[in-house]
Amino acid sequence: MSEQDQPADAEPSALRTPIVAVLGHVDHGKTSLLDKIRGSAVSEGEAGAITQHIGSTAVPLSVISDIAGELVNPDDFDLPGLLFIDTPGHHSFSTLRSRGGALADIAVLVVDVNDGFQPQTHEAIDILKRTATPFIVAANKIDTVPGWNPEADRPSKVAIEAQSDRVESDLNENLYEIIGNLSDAGFSADMYWRVQDFQANVGVVPVSAETGEGIPDLLTVLMGLSQRYMKDEMAIDVGGPAAGTVLEVKETQGFGTTIDAVIYDGTITADDTIVVGGVNNPIVTEVRALLQPKPLSEIRADEAFEQVDAVVAAEGVKIAAQDLDDAMAGAPIRVVRDRDVEEVIEEVRAELAEIEVETQENGLTVKADTLGSLEALASTLAEEEIPIMRAEVGDVAPRDVRMAETANTPQRQSILAFNVDVLDDARDLAEQEDVKIFENDVIYRLIEEYEEHVAEIEEAQQEQVLENITRPARFEILPDHTFRQSDPAVVGVEVRGGLLKRNSRVVLFDDSEPERVGMLKSIQDEGEDVDEARTGERVAVSIDGPTVGRQITEGDELWVEIPEKHAKILEQELAEDISADEQEVLGMYLDKHRKRDPFWGK
C-alpha cells in the first residue's frame, strides 16, 4: 500500500508482497480471471481493502483469507498478500525484470480446459522455463463442461465431487490432457491437491472465472507457495532507494509522457531523482509526481488518478517526470537518493547489457514492444540460426526500413515487428523499397511467416538456377529415323533418361573419353516445336555439326554435355531439385568422367 494508506505509527513491513504474473493464450480467460479475483476481493473485503495500482492489483492477506475461507488461516502467513500484474500478454512478462531475472516471483498459466495447449500457451511455457519462474496452472472454464452444475465461489475439489460421474469424467479427461501437455514440455504435473512438492511438480488448479469456483484454491496455492518457498526472497530494505521495472510508456493528460512501473524493492518518493533505461542511454530525471488510481469503481475514468507522496514495494505506480519519451518498456528504474548518480547509471547500463541482443553485419531488423519481447524474440531467432542486424524496442519507423534495406540478401531485407505498430510513412517506404514487414503478436507465428517468405525466395532462386544450368539427359538415335544427314542432321531419337532441352551441347562417349559432336538446336514432337523432352518420349531433333554416318550413326547413345562446374552444382546443391531419373543419368555421366579423372566435378 502507499505510505499515505498506512497508520501513522505503523512500521513498514520488511517482507514485500509476492508479484504474480498471469499468462496464457488469447481468450483463455486471463483478464476474466483477474477481474473475478478483483471482484471477489472487493465484495469480500472492506471498502478500500483491495488496492488497484498501475498495472497491478494488490490483494491483502485478510481479503484472501475471506475469499478462501477455511483454506487459508491468516495466522499461518507472514507475507502481506499478493500483487497481480495486470499487463496483458506473456511478452510483457518476459522481461519485466528485477536484478537480471523475471520481475514476477510466481506465475499463473491460464489454460482453457476445452482448448488445451495453444500457440501462446507453448510460448508462455518456453518463457517460464527460460526465466526459471515457478508457476501453477489455472485450468479455466470448468463451468463450460456440458452438464456442469455451478455453485458460486466454492473450492474446485468440492465443486468437482458434486458433479455427475459423466461430467467429472469429461472434465478429468481434459485436465489430464493438460497434464500430458505439461509433461511433453518437461514439467511433472498433477492436480494441486495431489502435489507434495511444488518445487518438483506443477500444480493444476481447476477454476471458473465465470462462477468463481476454484478461485479460493488458486489464491490458497499461490499464498502457500509464496510463504513456503519465497519468504526469504521477499525480504527487502523498505526504506532504501527503490528499484523497479517499466511496464509501459504512455501519455497522461496534464503530465505528458509518463511511465507505468512496478516497484519491487525499497521506496520511491515524489522528490526523488531516478535513472531509467532509455533507447540510447539511461535517462536521469526528477520525479514530478507519483500517481495512483482512485478506488476501483472509478479506475476507467480519465480523472481516476491521485498524487501520493511515496510508494513502498511491491506496488505499481505511474511516474511523471521530464525526458521520459525514450524510456523503454521492460527497462530498469533506480532511485538515486544518497548514492552517486554515475554509479546508478552504470547499474542501469549493466542490467540493460544483460539483455543486449547480439547483432551481426547482415541480418534481420527486429522491433518489439518491450525489452522482454525483444529478448524472447532474439532468443528464438538464435535457436533458428537466423541472424539479427538491428534490434530495438518501439514502433517501426522509416529509419528501420532504411536499415533493413542495407542487408545484402533479399531474405534479410525484412523487418520482424512483434506487437508494435508500423508507422504509415514506414509502410509506404517499405513497399517502395521492397522491404518486407512481418507483424504478429505470437513469436513463433512471426518467425513462421518469415521462414515461409524465405522458402519462397529460395525456391524462386533455385528455379532460376535450374533454368540456367545444364540438365542431364541421354538419348538414342533410332534406326531408320534419319531425316537429314547434315547441316543440321535431323534424326528421330528416344530419351533414355533425364531432361533433354534444346540449345544443348551433345557428346558421344568413346572409352570414357567424351567427344563433342555438335549442338542440339531444336526438338519437334509430331511436327510441333517443343522446348524439352522427357524419359521415354520419342521426338525429332536437329543437331548442328555432325553428319549421320560419320560422326554419329543410328543406334548411337548420345549425352547432353554438362560443364564440370554445372555437374558439381547439380550433385552437391541441386540433387533434390531434379527428378530421380535425372539423378540417375547424372550419376552415370559422372561415373564415365571419373573413370579417367576420379576428382572430376568434385
Q: What is the DSSP string of 484-538?
A: ESSSSEEEEEEEEEEEEESSEEEEEEETTEEEEEEEEEEEEETTEEESEEETT-E
- The distance from CA 358 to its chain's CA centroid, rounded to whole angstroms, is 17
Count of H-run helices and E-run strands, the chain: 14, 31
Domain-embedded: residue 12: no
Report the C-alpha gap between 365 and 460 in whole angstroms. 23
Give me the pLDDT at residue 296, please: 47
More confidently predicted of 313 and 144: 144
Tell me the three cell numbers of residue 583. 539423378
User: Cis before residue 314, ω within 30 degrees of 0?
Assistant: yes
Residue 421 region by backbone torsions, left for phi larger than 0, else alpha for psi between -120 and 50, else beta: beta
Whole-model pTM: value is 0.67
Which segments of 31-99 are extended strands (E)?
51-53, 56-60, 81-85, 97-98
Helix, strand or coil, per DSSP, at residue 7: coil
Per DSSP, 153 falls in state T
Report the C-alpha gap between 598 and 306 in whole angstroms. 85
Report the C-alpha gap between 104 and 145 in whole angstroms. 32
Report the C-alpha gap between 292 and 1 in whole angstroms. 10
Report the C-alpha gap between 374 and 331 in whole angstroms. 12
Indicate whether 51 pLDDT > 70: no
Q: Which of 353, 378, 409 is the last residue of a domain?
A: 353
Domain-embedded: residue 115: yes
Give me the pLDDT at residue 325, please: 92
Indicate whether 575 pLDDT > 90: no
Count CB neighbours of 30 within 10 A.
24
Indicate whether 46 pLDDT > 80: no
Q: Which of 412, 433, 464 is the last residue of a domain?
A: 464
526 exposed, middle or buried (CB, 10 Å; 0-12, 13-18, 19+)? exposed
More confidently predicted of 145 and 252: 145
Indicate whether 421 pLDDT > 70: yes
- Residues 122 and 163 reside in one and the same domain: yes
Highest mean pLDDT, choosing among 69-73, 559-563, 574-578: 559-563
Q: 295: domain range? A: 243-353
Instruction: Summarize pLDDT for 390-399 with one digit per residue, the tens.
Output: 998 889 999 9
Domain-embedded: residue 428: yes
Computed over every residue of the chain, the mean pLDDT equals: 87
Indicate whether 98 pLDDT > 70: no
Give me the pLDDT at residue 494, please: 97
- Residues 135 and 26 reside in one and the same domain: yes
- Residues 334 and 390 reside in one and the same domain: no
- Residues 422 and 508 reside in one and the same domain: no
Report the C-alpha gap between 194 and 191 in whole angstroms. 6
Indicate whether 175 pLDDT > 90: yes
Position 186 confidence tier, pLDDT thresholds 50, 70, 90: very high
- Residues 386 and 403 reside in one and the same domain: yes
Q: Given the DSSP bridges, would you call strands 513-525 and 504-510 parallel, antiparallel or unpaired? A: antiparallel
Q: Given the DSSP bridges, would you call strands 332-335 and 243-252 parallel, antiparallel or unpaired? A: antiparallel
Domain-embedded: residue 32: yes
- Residues 454 and 393 reside in one and the same domain: yes
- Residues 36 and 92 reside in one and the same domain: yes
- Residues 130 and 169 reside in one and the same domain: yes
Lowest-pLDDT choice from 35-44, 98-107, 244-253, 335-344: 35-44
Instruction: Report the CATH number at residue 56.
Output: 3.40.50.300
Say if CB 96 and CB 55 are below 8 A apart: no
Give the Cα-Cα-Cα angle 115, 119, 125 (nearest 5 degrees): 100
- Residues 100 and 196 reside in one and the same domain: yes
Position 358 confidence tier, pLDDT thresholds 50, 70, 90: confident
- Residues 125 and 30 reside in one and the same domain: yes
Report the C-alpha gap between 223 and 232 in whole angstroms. 14
**Residue whose cell numbers read 507457495:** 225
Domain-embedded: residue 415: yes
Q: Given the DSSP bridges, would you call strands 414-418 and 189-191 parallel, antiparallel or unpaired? A: unpaired
Lowest-pLDDT choice from 49-63, 201-215, 389-403, 432-446: 49-63
Indicate whether 459 pLDDT > 90: no
Report the C-alpha gap between 132 and 106 in whole angstroms. 10
Per DSSP, 151 falls in state -
What is the number of structural domains in the chain? 4
Indicate whether 13 pLDDT > 50: no
Q: Which of 234, 267, 289 is the last residue of a domain?
A: 234
- Residues 83 and 209 reside in one and the same domain: yes
Helix, strand or coil, per DSSP, at residue 408: coil
Domain-embedded: residue 163: yes
Instruction: Summarize pLDDT for 294-347 with one digit per residue, the tens.
Output: 654 333 444 567 899 999 988 889 999 999 999 988 889 999 999 999 999 999
- Residues 94 and 208 reside in one and the same domain: yes
Instruction: Summarize pLDDT for 476-505 with one digit per residue, the tens.
Output: 999 999 999 999 999 999 999 999 999 999
More confidently predicted of 150 and 8: 150
Domain-embedded: residue 26: yes
Say if CB 198 and CB 226 are below 8 A apart: no
Position 566 confidence tier, pLDDT thresholds 50, 70, 90: very high
Radius of gyration of the chain (CA): 35
Say if CB 348 and CB 280 are below 8 A apart: no
Instruction: Report the CATH number at residue 385.
Output: 3.40.50.10050
Q: For residue 85, what are the CA distances in angstroms to 88, 99, 475, 569? A: 8, 18, 73, 56
Closest CA to 407 of 378, 374, 366: 366
Lowest-pLDDT choice from 18-22, 88-92, 277-281, 452-456: 88-92
Domain-embedded: residue 1: no
Count CB neighbours of 184 within 10 A.
11
Indicate whether 2 pLDDT > 60: no
Instruction: Report the CATH number at residue 552.
Output: 2.40.30.10
